[in-house]
Amino acid sequence: MLNFSFVIIFSFILVYQNIIILNEETLILVCFITFCFLIHNKLSKSVHSNFDDQSISIKISIESSLNLLLKELLTNIKVQSNYKGLATDFKNLGDHFLKLSFSFLDRVPLQFVKSHKKIYPKKLSFTSRLEKQTTKLIALLISHKLAKIVSLKKFYARNFKMNSFLCIDKVMLREYFGTI
């Protein structure tokens, strides 16, 4: 590097010859250059070591995240390979079930089949009638509950005379007139 005394002597010569004019800007520039030079000489090693430490920690972090990502991808590929033939396995299972059913039906005595042909239509008709009666019962229960709700609403509107109940009656009356 340059000798510091040589730089000072050279700068005095330049100032004495009026090549460099000493004013505020020049003094600030000299101070800034001196500051940068001293910072570079004194702190370069610590800044360099700090950057090295940060780069090592970032490298370790990236490597660990990439390793984790690689593990996840490998497990995903393994799962996909395990379930690759799932559709064909289900189709084969269905085919085997059909073969088993047909072989079982071939071995069932005809008398057993005939007796069940008489029983199943009766059970199915009973189930159908039961479903119809249940739907009728549910419809009756719902209409009964709705009638109770309407009567309670009328009771509250007449006896309590709350603004919200009266307002609802007026709105419903306007809607009714609107539909007429």
Q: What is the pLDDT of residues 82-119, one digit of tens each?
A: 777 777 877 888 888 888 887 777 776 666 667 667 77
pLDDT: which is higher, 90 or 63? 63
Angle at 10 (CA atoms; ends 8, 13), nearest 5 degrees: 110
148 φ, ψ to 5°? -65, -40
pLDDT digits (tens, 9 = 90+) for 112-143: 667 667 777 777 788 888 888 988 888 888 88
